[in-house]
Amino acid sequence: MTSSEPGTTPPKASKVPKASKATAASTASGASRASKSLKAPEIPKGESRLALVRRARRINRELAEVYPYAHPELDFRNPFELLVATVLSAQTTDLRVNQTTPALFAAYPTPEDMAAAVPEEMEELIRPTGFFRAKTKSLLGLSAALRDDFGGEVPGRLEDLVKLPGVGRKTANVVLGNAFGVPGITVDTHFGRLVRRWKWTDEEDPVKVEAVIADIFPKSEWTMLSHRVIFHGRRICHARKPACGACPIAPLCPSYGEGETDPEKARKLLKYEMGGHPGQRLSPPPDFPGKPAPALGAV
Give CA 56 to chain center in angstroms: 18
d(CA 104, CA 205): 33
Active site residues: 170, 188
d(CA 106, CA 101): 8
How many other C-beta atoms lie within 10 A of the C-beta of residue 53?
14
d(CA 84, CA 74): 10
The type of residue at 206 is: P
